[in-house]
Amino acid sequence: MANKYTLNIAHLYGDLMNTYGDLGNILVLQYYGKKMGIDVQSNVVSLDEDFKANDYDIAVFGGGQDFEQTIVSKDIQTKKDEIKKFIETDGCLLAICGGFQLLGKYYIDANGDKIPGIGVLDHYTEQQHDNRFIGNILIKNEETGEQYHGFENHQGVTYTGKGERPLGDVEKGYGNNGQDKAEGAIYKNVYCTYFHGPILARNNIIAKHILIKALKRRYPNDDFSKLEQMDVEKSY
Ligand code: GLN
Protein backbone atom coordinates (compact mmCIF):
# COMPACT_ATOMS: atom_id res chain seq x y z
CA MET A 1 0.00 0.00 0.00
CA ALA A 2 1.27 3.44 -0.87
CA ASN A 3 2.33 5.64 2.01
CA LYS A 4 -0.14 8.31 2.99
CA TYR A 5 2.42 11.07 3.32
CA THR A 6 5.41 12.29 1.33
CA LEU A 7 8.21 14.52 2.59
CA ASN A 8 11.01 15.97 0.44
CA ILE A 9 14.55 16.41 1.71
CA ALA A 10 17.11 18.78 0.17
CA HIS A 11 20.57 17.40 0.87
CA LEU A 12 22.51 20.65 0.72
CA TYR A 13 25.93 20.13 -0.88
CA GLY A 14 25.65 16.42 -0.14
CA ASP A 15 28.52 15.70 -2.55
CA LEU A 16 30.89 18.08 -0.71
CA MET A 17 29.75 18.23 2.90
CA ASN A 18 29.55 14.70 4.31
CA THR A 19 32.06 14.30 7.15
CA TYR A 20 31.93 10.95 8.97
CA GLY A 21 28.98 9.84 6.86
CA ASP A 22 26.59 12.65 7.83
CA LEU A 23 24.60 11.34 4.84
CA GLY A 24 23.45 8.64 7.26
CA ASN A 25 21.06 11.19 8.76
CA ILE A 26 19.00 10.98 5.59
CA LEU A 27 18.97 7.18 5.69
CA VAL A 28 17.72 7.39 9.28
CA LEU A 29 14.94 9.82 8.32
CA GLN A 30 13.92 7.40 5.55
CA TYR A 31 14.07 4.42 7.92
CA TYR A 32 11.80 5.99 10.54
CA GLY A 33 9.69 7.62 7.85
CA LYS A 34 8.88 4.15 6.54
CA LYS A 35 7.80 3.02 10.01
CA MET A 36 5.58 6.08 10.28
CA GLY A 37 3.96 5.69 6.85
CA ILE A 38 5.90 8.51 5.19
CA ASP A 39 7.60 8.30 1.83
CA VAL A 40 10.80 10.32 2.37
CA GLN A 41 12.40 11.50 -0.90
CA SER A 42 15.83 13.09 -1.04
CA ASN A 43 17.93 14.88 -3.59
CA VAL A 44 21.26 16.63 -3.49
CA VAL A 45 21.24 20.38 -4.09
CA SER A 46 24.82 21.41 -4.80
CA LEU A 47 26.94 24.01 -6.61
CA ASP A 48 25.12 26.06 -9.26
CA GLU A 49 21.80 24.36 -8.49
CA ASP A 50 18.68 26.15 -7.30
CA PHE A 51 17.30 25.61 -3.84
CA LYS A 52 13.60 26.47 -3.84
CA ALA A 53 12.18 26.85 -0.34
CA ASN A 54 8.69 25.72 -1.33
CA ASP A 55 9.91 22.45 -2.83
CA TYR A 56 11.20 21.04 0.45
CA ASP A 57 10.06 19.95 3.89
CA ILE A 58 13.45 19.13 5.38
CA ALA A 59 16.99 20.25 4.55
CA VAL A 60 20.12 18.42 5.72
CA PHE A 61 23.49 20.19 5.62
CA GLY A 62 26.47 18.05 6.67
CA GLY A 63 29.93 18.83 8.00
CA GLY A 64 33.00 19.49 5.88
CA GLN A 65 36.69 20.26 5.77
CA ASP A 66 37.90 23.86 5.54
CA PHE A 67 38.65 23.38 1.81
CA GLU A 68 35.12 22.29 0.94
CA GLN A 69 33.67 24.97 3.20
CA THR A 70 35.53 27.65 1.24
CA ILE A 71 33.96 26.44 -2.01
CA VAL A 72 30.49 26.07 -0.51
CA SER A 73 30.74 29.48 1.20
CA LYS A 74 30.85 31.20 -2.21
CA ASP A 75 28.02 29.24 -3.79
CA ILE A 76 25.67 29.29 -0.81
CA GLN A 77 25.45 33.10 -0.94
CA THR A 78 23.28 32.62 -4.05
CA LYS A 79 20.91 30.39 -2.05
CA LYS A 80 20.82 32.63 1.01
CA ASP A 81 17.41 34.23 0.39
CA GLU A 82 15.64 30.92 -0.26
CA ILE A 83 17.30 29.25 2.74
CA LYS A 84 16.21 32.17 4.91
CA LYS A 85 12.66 31.90 3.53
CA PHE A 86 12.68 28.15 4.20
CA ILE A 87 13.77 28.68 7.82
CA GLU A 88 11.39 31.55 8.50
CA THR A 89 8.44 29.56 7.11
CA ASP A 90 9.22 26.79 9.63
CA GLY A 91 11.08 24.40 7.32
CA CYS A 92 13.02 21.74 9.23
CA LEU A 93 16.75 21.96 8.84
CA LEU A 94 19.46 19.76 10.34
CA ALA A 95 22.93 21.34 10.09
CA ILE A 96 26.07 19.57 11.26
CA CYS A 97 29.43 21.09 12.16
CA GLY A 98 30.69 22.80 8.97
CA GLY A 99 27.08 23.24 7.83
CA PHE A 100 26.17 24.70 11.23
CA GLN A 101 29.08 27.15 10.89
CA LEU A 102 28.04 28.31 7.40
CA LEU A 103 24.48 29.13 8.46
CA GLY A 104 25.97 31.69 10.84
CA LYS A 105 27.83 34.93 10.15
CA TYR A 106 31.34 33.57 9.53
CA TYR A 107 33.87 30.86 10.31
CA ILE A 108 37.58 31.54 10.90
CA ASP A 109 39.37 28.50 9.49
CA ALA A 110 42.51 26.75 10.76
CA ASN A 111 44.70 29.13 8.70
CA GLY A 112 43.01 32.19 10.17
CA ASP A 113 41.07 32.94 6.97
CA LYS A 114 37.55 34.27 7.34
CA ILE A 115 35.00 32.13 5.51
CA PRO A 116 31.71 34.03 5.18
CA GLY A 117 28.52 32.30 6.24
CA ILE A 118 25.06 33.38 5.13
CA GLY A 119 24.04 34.86 8.48
CA VAL A 120 20.55 33.40 8.45
CA LEU A 121 21.24 32.46 12.06
CA ASP A 122 23.00 34.78 14.48
CA HIS A 123 25.99 32.65 15.60
CA TYR A 124 29.61 33.08 14.54
CA THR A 125 32.64 30.81 14.71
CA GLU A 126 36.14 31.79 15.79
CA GLN A 127 39.43 29.95 15.46
CA GLN A 128 41.29 27.87 18.04
CA HIS A 129 45.06 27.98 18.04
CA ASP A 130 46.63 24.61 17.20
CA ASN A 131 43.80 22.71 18.78
CA ARG A 132 40.70 20.74 17.86
CA PHE A 133 37.87 19.49 20.01
CA ILE A 134 37.77 15.75 19.37
CA GLY A 135 35.94 12.99 21.21
CA ASN A 136 32.69 11.59 22.45
CA ILE A 137 30.15 14.03 23.78
CA LEU A 138 26.99 13.83 25.88
CA ILE A 139 24.47 16.65 26.22
CA LYS A 140 21.08 17.19 27.80
CA ASN A 141 18.25 19.19 26.28
CA GLU A 142 16.80 21.30 29.07
CA GLU A 143 13.29 21.54 27.58
CA THR A 144 12.68 17.86 26.95
CA GLY A 145 15.13 16.31 29.43
CA GLU A 146 16.43 14.14 26.58
CA GLN A 147 20.11 13.19 26.51
CA TYR A 148 21.94 13.00 23.18
CA HIS A 149 25.16 11.10 22.42
CA GLY A 150 27.62 11.97 19.68
CA PHE A 151 31.14 12.46 18.45
CA GLU A 152 32.67 15.88 17.83
CA ASN A 153 35.73 16.90 15.82
CA HIS A 154 36.04 20.61 15.16
CA GLN A 155 38.57 23.37 15.06
CA GLY A 156 36.06 26.21 15.11
CA VAL A 157 34.51 27.55 18.32
CA THR A 158 30.97 28.80 17.94
CA TYR A 159 29.08 31.41 19.94
CA THR A 160 25.31 31.43 19.59
CA GLY A 161 23.34 34.64 19.11
CA LYS A 162 19.88 36.17 19.00
CA GLY A 163 16.96 33.76 18.97
CA GLU A 164 19.12 30.67 19.36
CA ARG A 165 19.01 28.28 22.27
CA PRO A 166 21.38 25.33 22.63
CA LEU A 167 20.48 21.86 21.41
CA GLY A 168 21.74 20.76 24.79
CA ASP A 169 23.96 21.55 27.75
CA VAL A 170 27.28 19.73 27.74
CA GLU A 171 27.57 16.95 30.32
CA LYS A 172 30.68 15.38 28.82
CA GLY A 173 32.90 16.77 26.03
CA TYR A 174 33.42 20.30 24.66
CA GLY A 175 30.39 21.52 22.70
CA ASN A 176 30.28 24.79 20.78
CA ASN A 177 33.25 26.48 22.37
CA GLY A 178 34.43 24.57 25.43
CA GLN A 179 33.41 27.46 27.67
CA ASP A 180 29.71 28.17 27.96
CA LYS A 181 28.47 24.54 28.15
CA ALA A 182 26.24 25.04 25.11
CA GLU A 183 26.15 22.49 22.30
CA GLY A 184 24.53 23.28 18.97
CA ALA A 185 21.64 25.62 18.40
CA ILE A 186 17.90 25.48 17.93
CA TYR A 187 16.05 28.23 16.08
CA LYS A 188 12.44 27.65 14.97
CA ASN A 189 12.61 24.17 13.30
CA VAL A 190 16.37 24.37 12.70
CA TYR A 191 18.61 21.97 14.61
CA CYS A 192 22.33 22.75 14.52
CA THR A 193 24.97 20.58 16.14
CA TYR A 194 28.62 19.51 16.11
CA PHE A 195 27.57 15.86 16.41
CA HIS A 196 28.73 13.48 13.76
CA GLY A 197 28.08 9.85 14.06
CA PRO A 198 25.57 10.54 12.36
CA ILE A 199 23.52 12.27 15.04
CA LEU A 200 20.15 10.79 14.08
CA ALA A 201 21.44 7.20 14.07
CA ARG A 202 22.40 7.51 17.72
CA ASN A 203 19.54 9.76 18.77
CA ASN A 204 16.46 8.57 16.92
CA ILE A 205 14.16 10.75 19.02
CA ILE A 206 15.51 13.79 17.13
CA ALA A 207 14.64 12.07 13.82
CA LYS A 208 11.11 11.60 15.13
CA HIS A 209 10.85 15.26 16.22
CA ILE A 210 11.99 16.41 12.77
CA LEU A 211 9.59 14.10 10.89
CA ILE A 212 6.59 15.13 13.02
CA LYS A 213 7.37 18.84 12.67
CA ALA A 214 7.73 18.45 8.90
CA LEU A 215 4.44 16.53 8.67
CA LYS A 216 2.57 19.18 10.67
CA ARG A 217 3.88 21.90 8.37
CA ARG A 218 3.13 20.02 5.12
CA TYR A 219 -0.25 18.59 6.22
CA PRO A 220 -1.66 21.23 8.62
CA ASN A 221 -5.16 19.75 8.65
CA ASP A 222 -4.16 16.26 9.73
CA ASP A 223 -3.92 14.96 13.28
CA PHE A 224 -0.55 13.44 14.14
CA SER A 225 -1.16 12.74 17.83
CA LYS A 226 -0.99 8.95 17.28
CA LEU A 227 2.33 9.24 15.48
CA GLU A 228 3.61 11.53 18.22
CA GLN A 229 2.92 8.82 20.78
CA MET A 230 4.36 6.04 18.67
CA ASP A 231 7.46 4.30 19.96
CA VAL A 232 9.41 4.26 16.72
CA GLU A 233 11.61 1.42 17.95
CA LYS A 234 8.76 -0.98 18.66
CA SER A 235 6.12 -0.48 16.04
CA TYR A 236 7.52 -1.77 12.77
N1 GLN B 1 36.18 22.56 9.20
C2 GLN B 1 35.37 22.85 10.33
C3 GLN B 1 36.14 22.84 11.64
O4 GLN B 1 37.20 22.26 11.74
C5 GLN B 1 34.20 21.89 10.38
C6 GLN B 1 34.62 20.48 10.66
C7 GLN B 1 33.55 19.45 10.49
O8 GLN B 1 32.53 19.67 9.84
N9 GLN B 1 33.79 18.30 11.07
O10 GLN B 1 35.67 23.40 12.60
Quick check: 127 pLDDT over 50? yes
Q: Does 66 sit in the ligand 1 pocket, CB within 6 Å?
A: yes
List, as one string, the DSSP characters of 6-34. Answer: EEEEEEETTTT--GGGTTHHHHHHHHHHH
pLDDT value for 232: 73
User: Is residue 126 within 8 Å of residue 156, measured between CB atoms?
Assistant: yes
Give the C-alpha separation, 107 to 124, whole Å. 6
Give the C-alpha separation, 176 to 168, whole Å. 10
What is the average per-residue pLDDT within 39-51? 98
pLDDT value for 171: 98
Beta strands per DSSP E along 109-224: 114-116, 124-126, 133-140, 147-154, 157-159, 168-172, 182-183, 185-187, 190-193
pLDDT value for 20: 87
Question: What's the mean per-residue pLDDT of the chain?
Answer: 96
Backbone angles phi and psi of 90, in degrees to 5: 70, 25
Active site (annotated) includes residue 11: no
User: Cis ω on the peptide bond leading into residue 166 (within 30° of 0)?
Assistant: no
Within 13 Å and on the Cβ side, how many CA atoms surround 114? 6
Q: Does 155 sit in the ligand 1 pocket, CB within 6 Å?
A: yes
Atom of ligand 1 nearest to the CA of 125: 10
Confidence tier at 234 by pLDDT (50, 70, 90):
low
Q: Does 97 sit in the ligand 1 pocket, CB within 6 Å?
A: yes
Between the CA of 174 and the centroid of ligand 1 the distance, in Å, is 14
> How does pLDDT run across 94-121, given as a tens digit for each residue?
999 999 999 999 999 999 999 999 999 9
202 known ligand binder: no
Between the CA of 120 and the centroid of ligand 1 the distance, in Å, is 19
Q: What is the ipTM of this complex?
A: 0.94
User: Is residue 102 within 8 Å of residue 73, measured between CB atoms?
Assistant: yes
